[in-house]
Amino acid sequence: MALKYEDVIAKYEPVLGLEVHVELGTESKMFCGCNTVFGAAPNTQTCPVCLGLPGSLPVVNGKAIEYTIAIGLALNCSIAPFSRFARKNYFYPDMPKNFQTSQYDEPICVNGYLDVTIETEEGPKDFRIEIERVHMEEDTGKSLHMGGATGRIHGADYSLLDYNRAGIPLVEIVTKVVTGTGKYAPEVARAYVSELRDILRGLGVSDVKMEQGSLRCDANVSLRPIGVEKLGTRSETKNVNSLRSVERAVRGEMIRHAELLNKGEKVIQETRHFHEDTGLTTPGRSKEQAEDYRYFPEPDLVPVAPSIEMIEKIRASLPEKPSVRRKKLQEAWQVPDKEMAAMVNADVLDQVEATVKLGTDPTRARGWWLGEIARIANEKGVSAGELPINASDVAEIVGLIEKGELTDKLARQVVEGVINGEGKPAEIIKNRGIQVVSDDSSLMAAIEKAIAAQPDVAEKVRGGHVPAAGALIGAVMKETKGQADAAKVRELLLKHLGQA
Amino acid sequence: MIKSSATQMAAALAKGEVSSLELTQLHLDQISKVDSQVNAFLFVDTEGALEQAKQVDAKRQKGEKLSPLAGVPLALKDVMTQKGVPTTCGSKMLEGWRPPYDSTVVTRLKENGVVILGKTNMDEFAMGSSTENSAYGPTHNPWDLTRIPGGSGGGSSAALAAFEAPLAIGTDTGGSIRQPAAVTGTVGVKPTYGGVSRYGLVAFSSSLDQAGPCARTVLDAAYLHEAIGGYDKLDSTSINAPIPPVVAAAKDGNVKGMKIGVIKELQGDGYQPGVLELFNQSLELLAAQGAEIVEVSCKYFDYALAAYYLIAPSECSSNLARFDAMRYGIRVGEGSAEEVMNKTRQVGFGREVKRRIILGTYALSSGYYDAYYGSAQKVRTLISRDFENAFQQADVLVSPTAPTTAFKIGEKANDPIAMYLNDIATIPTNLAGIGGMSLPSGLAKEDGLPAGFQIMAPAMQDDRMYKAGAALEAALLTKWGKPILDSAPVLGAK
């Protein structure tokens, strides 16, 4: 029987450390001119440099440096006037040079912070997450382990290597130790990653798709008994790839640590893998066996020394902060705090904004994204933004409702169709034969039939008991397979029974 | 014809006295004749070379404007990539590898119409001073086939001395161009670090490696330097500035009023008397032409060798990590990736390479980094300051290139420290990133073998060493009455 979360936080204080890796959205790789398109055929986006062929040399992508500086500035960091790349040496087949070109003791951005707000039962709460560093590095290739049951390297018959990802620019954002979150640690972790993601998206430096791995979070968690200063032993859960998972992973690790500590056992310092299905983590490699990376300054690259003019130019071009933007949208849409928070949580703010921009009423736009679409997303275990439905689809559907060409119920079918990949709303309406029955004579036939079937109810309505009409309207709707506009049916029915 | 200088060959080509095809064929014939004795070449690209020669001849016939060295053949050290041509770096590890790309040096050679005859032998991954560390057998010194031709670029220098090629490309990490030049009676130049692109130079020690020209005359070296040098956007460490006017300097050769600084620390104990005697005679010749000889002291040079043998192995331990059997080169063993990597590296690397990888891995390890790599970098800074101070007092600095003439093959194979000491005079320039040249100073009285005279110049002032080198070369030629290589034994007579 797992320990209850309340019991964990009654006894222990959680301490977090979050490392977020972001793939930059540059057109070319960190140190060569290769393309960075996601999902290209294996090993088609490679060259002597990113394959680490003998004799090849790296050249820094200037755009990646600009992006990284923009990230640092958006996170309130100082930009180092002089920073260097370093080699992190270890052997792994998907790392072409068997060292990763990264930054070590001289990162490009240091000492920033990010403020996040979470909704709690006691109202909104603010937390300041301090940023230790933001640095640049290159991604590795990908190993695909073939044969064997697990898809992991152990037990595999052979492995395939794809170096398309090797050399894609990565930025690593590392927080300082995060304390003082108490029972809200999981929510704070999630809010931090969410806010960070919004900032990165606003900067346009990455497509921040967690499910594709362009933004991944490593969550370090430790517990210490309340009142104790000394930090506990941490575990590091690697590559958590959704906001929901960040929250679950932190909560899960807190419970796991507490169970060990309660039994008088030790938490092992190790990396762990998070499993979406169970919400649990399993051990990766233990840090005791961790390699000595033998960092040293990368001799093939010259130091990065951005000019003050360059930094100020980037600072001047930074977009407004997501928190400012949210406030503006909230005022423009006249939405209460709670609704706003719901949209942020469901991660549909961009979609609602885009839909409103197409002329849709904010309340209606919000209703669809937060209602039916969010419901389907939840069912599928993805975020609304990942579904193949976009703002123009929703705007079109809402427009049809307003014109009376769709009912709410029919519109839900259209939404479902779009998400199923049946095409654009107009096509679906045509192909599925969806149409609002507004032709009075066919409606009247159905009404007559309903009255004939329930003469007693019809009599009650004639007698002035209007609410009884519901049963008849229901029957008509059933007869027309939901394609009738209920308001129209009601109008015709009441008129027919002398009540309008 | 093959005994001419590259400049003379270029002139004959320009006048139509010979075609590039003929000239190339003459050199291929010489290779067939003597290379079984010298073993300077690991690969002779007969077809490719003849094809390149034909193209240059065709262009010349059409009246196209050609660069000065167009049609002249060259030998390429096997550490530089050439598209489609085997590149082994003298290692079993890369047996059979044909790179899919040209190094920038090769690109520029091709642009200049220089005909690449083939790839020359070298110490494995450029680690050594004798070419004995090649996985494909040692190269023999044309002056005495029982002796080493220097290293790591012994193949390139031996090819020049054996008239297999009039020009060659070398790379110099601690003396691998200059020391072979010294012991083979040829000219070799390590340009300023960043003066020639390293793109496509298979790295030994990235912060020290520098490609440069090898030739039989100072002017030939200057022409080759101008052909391959200059900024390359593919090498972040290449210098974005014009190439120093080395050809003009070599043509000028006037040392009147030039201050020549003799480095106190690079003579005396450990230097062969005959080598020192030739060095001093050379100084007198320079003084006779109006140069002012001064003595300078570089007191941190005593630590240069130690610093070098921490920095170079550290960088090599990382640079050579990529040889893991996953993408190119040989693959040994089966099982997990880790097992294959281990086995391949065990079989693919030779003893000296392994020694340096282990040294470097140790020096970079956590807990040792500051004491070893960190201290070595500080020494490096101090050596640079020594040079800066010395260049306050002199325009160029000079020393013997190597302490001795060529030693016997096998003589120092089991004594790495004795081997390392060969580079004591050449290493400081690599640590400071400045240029160095070696040219012949004569034949030592003890053994009749060539010795080298080294000239060093401040960063990006490479022209100064060409000027001084040309002056000394001319004075020595007058003194001897013939080029030094005319005294070498004739090869190929069985």
Write down the H helix ranges in A279-389. Answer: 308-316, 322-333, 337-346, 349-357, 362-370, 372-380
- Answer yes or no: do A96 and B322 touch at CB < 8 A: yes
Mean pLDDT computed over A80-104: 95
Give percent above pLDDT 70 in chain A: 97
Verify that B308 and B342 share a domain, yes or no.
yes
Distance separating alpha carbons of residues A322 and A451, to the nearest angstrom: 57
Answer whether A91's CB lies under 8 Å from A65's CB.
Answer: no
Verify that B172 and B29 share a domain, yes or no.
yes
Read off the pLDDT of residues A360-398 as tens digits, 9 standing for 90 and up: 999 999 999 998 998 898 888 787 888 899 999 999 999
Verify that A95 and A235 share a domain, yes or no.
yes
- Answer yes or no: do A55 and B201 touch at CB < 8 A: yes
Look at residues A388, A404, A431 and tell me which one is the last residue of a structural domain: A431
Tokens 């300077």 appear where?
Answer: B40
- Answer yes or no: do B80 and A58 touch at CB < 8 A: no
Q: Would B493 be classed as within a structural domain? A: no
pLDDT of residue A452: 87
Verify that B23 and B83 share a domain, yes or no.
yes
- Answer yes or no: do B202 and A93 touch at CB < 8 A: no
Verify that A24 and A95 share a domain, yes or no.
yes
Verify that A349 and A444 share a domain, yes or no.
no
Q: Would B285 be classed as within a structural domain? A: yes
Q: Which residue in the set A54, A89, A161 is minimally distant from B202, CB to CB?
A: A54
Q: Would B181 be classed as within a structural domain? A: yes
Verify that B133 and B238 share a domain, yes or no.
yes
- Answer yes or no: do B337 and A302 touch at CB < 8 A: no
User: What are the structure tokens assigned to A47, written together?
Assistant: 């060259």
pLDDT of residue B114: 98
> Domain total for chain A?
3
pLDDT at A168 over 70: yes
Distance separating alpha carbons of residues B27 and B57, to the nearest angstrom: 16
State the nearest Cα–Cα gap between A41 and chain B, in angstroms. 18
Look at residues A403, A431, A459 and tell me which one is the last residue of a structural domain: A431
Taking alpha carbons only, the member of A233, A201, A227 closest to residue A214 is: A201
Mean pLDDT computed over A56-75: 98
Verify that A268 and A373 share a domain, yes or no.
no
Verify that A409 and A474 share a domain, yes or no.
no
Chain A residues touching B373 at Cβ < 8 A: 296
- Answer yes or no: do B327 and A299 touch at CB < 8 A: no
Answer whether B434's CB lies under 8 Å from B387's CB.
Answer: yes
Verify that B220 and B85 share a domain, yes or no.
yes
The answer to whether residue A301 neighbours chain B at the CB level (below 8 Å) is yes
pLDDT band per the 50, 70, 90 thresholds, residue A209: confident
Verify that B124 and B251 share a domain, yes or no.
yes
Q: Domain of B145: which CATH number? A: 3.90.1300.10
β strands within B103-159, DSSP E: 115-120
Chain B residues touching A56 at Cβ < 8 A: 101, 199-200
Verify that B257 and B325 share a domain, yes or no.
no
Chain B residues touching A59 at Cβ < 8 A: 233-236
Answer whether B234's CB lies under 8 Å from A59's CB.
Answer: yes
Q: Which value does ipTM take for this structure?
A: 0.96
Q: Would B492 be classed as within a structural domain? A: no
State the nearest Cα–Cα gap between B480 and chain A, in angstroms. 42
User: What are the structure tokens assigned to A345, written together?
Assistant: 């949580």
Look at residues B357, B377, B397 and tell me which one is the last residue of a structural domain: B377
Interface of A with B in 390-419 (CB under 8 A): none
Q: Which residue in the set A58, A60, A292 is minimally distant from B366, CB to CB?
A: A292
Return per-residue pLDDT of chain B as tens, 494 residues: 999 999 999 999 999 999 999 999 999 999 999 999 999 999 999 999 999 999 999 999 999 999 999 999 999 999 999 999 999 999 999 999 999 999 999 999 999 999 999 999 999 999 999 999 999 999 999 999 999 999 999 999 999 999 999 999 999 999 999 999 999 999 999 999 999 999 999 999 999 999 999 999 999 999 999 999 999 999 999 999 999 999 999 999 999 999 999 999 998 888 999 999 999 999 999 999 999 999 999 999 999 999 999 999 999 999 999 999 999 999 999 888 899 999 999 999 999 999 999 999 999 998 899 999 999 999 999 999 999 999 999 999 999 999 999 999 999 988 888 889 999 999 999 999 999 999 999 999 999 999 999 999 999 999 999 999 999 999 999 999 999 999 999 998 65
Q: Which residue of B has its CA nearest to A90?
A: B321
pLDDT of residue A204: 94
Verify that B282 and B311 share a domain, yes or no.
no
The sheet carrying A281-286 orders its strands as A78-79, A109-120, A123-138, A169-175, A12-23, A215-225, A235-240, A270-274, A281-286
pLDDT band per the 50, 70, 90 thresholds, residue A1: low
Chain A residues touching B341 at Cβ < 8 A: 91, 93
- Answer yes or no: do A54 and B338 touch at CB < 8 A: no
| Cβ-based neighbours of A247, under 8 Å, separated by 6 or more | A186, A187, A189, A190
Taking alpha carbons only, the member of B452, B451, B290, B469 closest to residue B396 is: B469
pTM: 0.88
Verify that B319 and B282 share a domain, yes or no.
no
How many residues are listed for chain A in this entry? 500
For A149, counting Cβ atoms within 10 Å of its Cβ (0-12 exposed, 13-18 middle, 19+ buried), the class is: exposed
Distance separating alpha carbons of residues A86 and A97, to the nearest angstrom: 13
Chain A residues touching B321 at Cβ < 8 A: 89, 91, 97-99
Q: Which residue in the set A57, A89, A96 is minimally distant from B235, CB to CB?
A: A57
Interface of A with B in 55-74 (CB under 8 A): 55-60
pLDDT of residue A285: 64
pLDDT of residue A462: 85
pLDDT of residue A119: 85
Give the domain extent around A451.
Answer: 440-496
Q: Which listed residue (B4, B5, B20, B77) is catalytic? A: B77
- Answer yes or no: do A55 and B80 touch at CB < 8 A: yes
Chain B residues touching A155 at Cβ < 8 A: none
pLDDT of residue A189: 98
- Answer yes or no: do B322 and A159 touch at CB < 8 A: no
Chain B residues touching A53 at Cβ < 8 A: 81, 99-101, 327-328
Look at residues B377, B402, B424 and tell me which one is the last residue of a structural domain: B377
Mean pLDDT computed over A444-450: 85
Highest mean pLDDT among A42-56, A154-168, A401-415: A42-56
Distance separating alpha carbons of residues A342 and A113, to the nearest angstrom: 25
For A309, counting Cβ atoms within 10 Å of its Cβ (0-12 exposed, 13-18 middle, 19+ buried), the class is: exposed
Give the domain extent around B330.
Answer: 303-377
Verify that A310 and A353 share a domain, yes or no.
no
Q: Which residue of A has its CA nearest to B340?
A: A93
Mean pLDDT computed over A290-319: 94
Verify that B417 and B404 share a domain, yes or no.
yes
Distance separating alpha carbons of residues B210 and B170, to the nearest angstrom: 9
Chain A residues touching B198 at Cβ < 8 A: 57
Q: Domain of A464: which CATH number? A: 1.10.10
DSSP state of A421: T
Q: A124 versus B262: which is more confidently predicted?
A: B262
Count chain A–chain B contacts defined by CB atoms under 8 A: 101
Most A CBs within 10 Å, among B93, B327, B361, to test the A interface: B327
pLDDT at A216 over 80: yes
Burial state string for A449-465 with b = 16 or more CB within 10 A and e = fewer than 16 = ebbeebeebbebbeeee
Look at residues B317, B352, B377 and tell me which one is the last residue of a structural domain: B377
Verify that B350 and B470 share a domain, yes or no.
no
Distance separating alpha carbons of residues A181 and B299, to the nearest angstrom: 59
State the nearest Cα–Cα gap between A314 and chain B, in angstroms. 24
Q: Cα–Cα distances in Å, from A38 out to A25, A207, B5?
A: 10, 11, 55
Chain A residues touching B203 at Cβ < 8 A: 54-55, 300
Q: Cα–Cα distances in Å, from A234 out to A253, A254, A276, B289?
A: 10, 10, 21, 74
Distance separating alpha carbons of residues B462 and A65, to the nearest angstrom: 34
pLDDT at A500 over 70: no
Which positions in chain B have a beta carbon within 8 angstroms of at least one beta carbon in chain A?
A: 80-81, 87, 89, 94, 97, 99-101, 103, 198-203, 205-207, 233-237, 314-315, 317-318, 321-324, 326-328, 337-338, 341, 361, 364-366, 369, 373
Verify that B420 and B345 share a domain, yes or no.
no
Stretch (H or E) spanning B126:
none
Which of the residue ranges A288-292, A298-302, B315-319, B386-390 would you say has the lowest mean pLDDT? A288-292
Q: Which residue of B has its CA nearest to A156?
A: B336
Half-sphere exposure of A19 (CA within 13 A, CB side): 14
Q: Is B77 a catalytic residue?
A: yes
Stretch (H or E) spanning A96:
none
Q: Is B152 a catalytic residue?
A: yes
pLDDT of residue A446: 84
- Answer yes or no: do B236 and A55 touch at CB < 8 A: no
Q: What is the CB neighbour count within 10 angstroms for residue B385?
A: 13
Q: Is B5 a catalytic residue?
A: no
- Answer yes or no: do B97 and A54 touch at CB < 8 A: yes
Answer whether A68's CB lies under 8 Å from A170's CB.
Answer: no
State the nearest Cα–Cα gap between B452 and chain A, in angstroms. 30
> Domain total for chain B?
2
Question: If you compute the radius of gyration of chain B from its CA atoms, what whole number of angstroms results?
Answer: 21
Look at residues A263, A294, A314 and tell me which one is the last residue of a structural domain: A314
Q: Would B494 be classed as within a structural domain? A: no
Tokens 């949210």 appear where?
Answer: A326
Q: Would B281 be classed as within a structural domain? A: yes
Q: Would B1 be classed as within a structural domain? A: no
Mean pLDDT computed over A302-316: 96
Q: Which listed residue (B4, B20, B176, B207) is catalytic? A: B176
- Answer yes or no: do A55 and B99 touch at CB < 8 A: yes
pLDDT of residue A442: 78
